[in-house]
Amino acid sequence: MSQDQDSFLYALSSNNAWAGYKAHQNPNFFSKLASGQTPQILWLGCSDSRCPETTILGLQPGDVFVHRNIANIISPTDINTSAVIEYAVVHLKVKHVVLCGHSACGGAAAALGDTRVGGVLDTWLTPLKALRHAHAEDLDAIKDTGVRAVKIAELNVEAGVKVLMANYSIQDAIEERGLEVHGCLFDIASGRIKDLGFGTKGGRGVGADGSGENVVKGKHAQLVFRGGNASMTVR
């Protein structure tokens, strides 16, 4: 049996154990999950295997509606992304749209390099390449390659949030029911999510309760945006 087969069989076995644990922990968990979804968050993130949104948010299945692609690029002409946004905002009526980049991003590193990746990837990464050229002076002044990659990842989130804020479905939801848009960065080395301050409230607005924080409640935990950071607490 090959190592690849071993990995797949292990995944199936792990799923079986997880399903058994969840059913034991809460006998109604899966039947309730099967009855429908009411997520509060639309997560737009990177396909990187180290950034599984529900896990790093400390939330549960049913809490987060998700779209991920390489380097979390938001293009207004990408019908895939547009369809996800429309369904989440118009039909599921999520309360928060979160665009999250991350450190150690391969797409960011590729955009900063001078060699071609090959195939369709070079086309896909064109927006990141454009950001590199638009901010060449600032990026070239950063000597540490890791820090430089984080900087272009942040610029990518900022550009993506601007595209989101120009989306008609999002604009209508902001005006009609107070939808919030957040631009964040996940630091893989620490496991922490930082609110970059892009979006409807700049990441630093006062919450509805006047406490200066926004709380997103899931079924078993809640995500708190506070002072430019996001943290999870179990309920």
Q: Which residues carry out catalysis?
A: 46, 48, 50, 102, 105
| Nearest CA-CA partner of 65 in 99, 88, 47, 93 | 88
Place of tokens 């997880």: 18
Residue 48 annotated as lining a ligand binding site: yes
Q: How far apart, in whole angstroms, are the C-alpha atoms of residue 45 and residue 48?
A: 9
Among 192, 208, 211, smallest CA distance to 200 is for: 208
Q: Is 78 annotated as a binding residue?
A: no
Binding residues: 46, 48, 102, 105
Binding residues for Zn(2+): 46, 48, 102, 105
